[in-house]
């Protein structure tokens, strides 16, 4: 078989691995499979605010620089992930309670990060998990606490100003599972579009536990956002089940439906079940086993491409 990236290239499709902690590149097998199979990567936690910018004005660039260099060496794209996250915000930010000062801190942070990687990172998850896990309102995260629901609009405007050429996504989980949450995200995003907020797309996490999204759901999501002029991407797919045949079926079915619906940007949340390298190792959610052998999920994905 050819690699995933060779198959994806024929369809002008990005096939990526997220959840890349740069220290994993020390493992030569990990680095080899990543470069062979994928044409895009994104960091796990290393771009989250407290990792990158733990104190005001102090940046730890090494980790992301290393990822960006690896991507350049292997002819891969890089997706920015975690510039705003629910977790992982530094004390210096959390100590700011004045909205104007908080927005100024966001602007300084976005400018520092987006300018450094200008031309190297051309698509971003700007806001991640804005909605409550099962829907029913917004997540009361650190940004919401100070700025209220308007933090989303602020983040997109600041991001567009910092890098006018980058593609900007809102990243959300479980909209494929909960119809109410699906509607809530649509209402939120269509409101942003109506208000002229600079957003380019919706990134579906697709952390799947046992049960595949119902057939047609991904297609409907793509159709509804296309009507707003927006793109839909898959940002963090994995399938948590120890039933390898079921897992393969779900990988294949989701990738097949996504491509038929017109999605051209698909990333998984890692690629090997190797214990130290996956966020929920017990469920063996990825396409390669602990020894980097391709699993059924890999072949099903490859076939769908
Ligand atoms: C996860 C990381 O994989 C873990 O290491 C960390 O402890 C928590 O965050 N959705 C996201 C990712 O957008 O940033 C999350 O990453 C997984 C769920």
- For 206-259, write each residue's pLDDT tens digit: 999 978 999 999 999 999 999 999 999 999 999 999 999 999 999 999 999 999
Confidence bin at 20 (pLDDT 50/70/90): very high
Letter string b/e over residues 136-158, b meaning 16 or more CB atoms within 10 A of that residue's CB: eebeebbbbebbeeebbbbbbbb
pLDDT at 210: 79
Residue 129 Cα to ligand 1 middle (Å): 11
- State how far the Cα of 298 lies from the Cα of 7, in Å rounded to an integer: 12
Average pLDDT of span 136-163: 98
Query: What is the C-alpha radius of gyration for the chain, rounded to an integer number of angstroms?
Result: 18
How is residue 280 annotated by DSSP? S
Ligand 1 first shell, C-beta below 6 A: 19, 44-45, 82, 85, 128, 171, 205, 236, 279
Among the listed residues 46, 129, 153, 184, the single catalytic one is: 129
Residue 227 Cα to ligand 1 middle (Å): 30
Among the listed residues 44, 172, 176, 236, the single catalytic one is: 236
- Residue 188 structure tokens: 């939120």
Q: Can you tell me the ipTM of this complex? A: 0.98
- State how far the Cα of 204 lies from the Cα of 233, in Å rounded to an integer: 6
- Is 176 considered catalytic here? no
pLDDT at 282: 87
- Residue 31 structure tokens: 């680095």
% of the chain exceeding 90 in pLDDT: 96
Task: Please tell me the residue having the least CA distance from ligand 1 atom 16.
Answer: 44
Q: Per the confidence metrics, is the pTM higher than 0.95?
A: yes
- State how far the Cα of 253 lies from the Cα of 238, in Å rounded to an integer: 13
Phi and psi dihedrals of 272, rounded to 5?
-120, 140
Q: Which helix (H) or strand (E) holds 196?
A: none
127 by Cβ neighbours in 10 Å (0-12 / 13-18 / 19+) ranks as: buried
The count of domains in the chain is: 1
Residue 260: how many CB atoms within 10 A of its CB?
A: 12
Return mean pLDDT, the chain. 97
- Is 184 considered catalytic here? no
Angle of helix 244-261 versus helix 296-304 axis, rounded to 10: 20
Domain range holding 241?
Answer: 4-304
CATH number at residue 33: 3.20.20.80
Q: Could you identify the atom of ligand 1 that is nearest to the CA of residue 171?
A: 13
Strand partners, 201: 169, 231
Q: Could you give the count of Cα atoms lying within 13 Å of 124 in the half-sphere of its Cβ? A: 32
Could you report the per-residue pLDDT of 42-63, keeping only the tens digit for each?
A: 999 999 999 999 999 999 999 9
Q: Does residue 187 surpass a pLDDT of 90? A: yes
Residue 204 Cα to ligand 1 middle (Å): 14
Task: Please tell me the residue having the least CA distance from ligand 1 atom 7.
Answer: 279
- Residue 144 structure tokens: 């919401």
pLDDT at 177: 95
- Residue 179 structure tokens: 């119809």
């Amino acid at each position: 078989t050819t690699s995933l990236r060779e198959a994806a290239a024929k369809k002008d499709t990005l096939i990526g691995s997220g959840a890349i902690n740069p220290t994993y590149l020390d493992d030569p097998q990990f680095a080899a499979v990543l470069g062979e199979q994928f044409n895009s990567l994104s960091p796990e936690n290393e771009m989250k605010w407290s990792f990158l910018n733990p104190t005001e004005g102090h940046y730890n660039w090494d980790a992301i620089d290393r990822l960006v260099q690896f991507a350049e060496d292997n002819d891969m794209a890089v997706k920015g992930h975690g510039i705003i996250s629910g977790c992982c915000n530094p004390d210096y930010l959390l100590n700011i309670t004045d909205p104007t000062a908080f927005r100024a801190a966001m602007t300084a942070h976005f400018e520092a990060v987006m300018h450094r990687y200008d031309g190297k990172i051309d698509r971003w998850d700007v806001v991640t998990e804005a909605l409550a896990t099962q829907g029913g309102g917004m997540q009361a995260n650190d940004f919401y606490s100070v700025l209220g629901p308007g933090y989303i609009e602020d983040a997109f405007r600041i991001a567009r100003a910092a890098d006018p050429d980058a593609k900007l996504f809102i990243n959300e989980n479980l909209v494929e599972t909960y119809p109410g949450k699906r509607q809530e995200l649509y209402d939120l995003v269509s409101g942003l579009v109506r208000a002229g907020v600079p957003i380019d797309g919706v990134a579906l996490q697709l952390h799947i536990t046992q049960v595949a999204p119902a057939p047609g759901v991904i297609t409907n999501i793509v159709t509804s956002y296309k009507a707003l002029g927006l793109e839909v991407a898959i940002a963090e797919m994995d399938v948590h089940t120890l039933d390898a045949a079921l897992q393969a079926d779900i990988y294949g079915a989701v990738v097949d439906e996504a491509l038929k619906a017109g999605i051209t940007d698909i990333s998984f949340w890692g690629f090997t079940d190797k214990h130290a390298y996956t966020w929920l190792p017990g469920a063996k959610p990825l396409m390669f086993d602990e020894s980097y052998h391709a699993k059924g999920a890999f072949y099903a994905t490859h076939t769908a491409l």
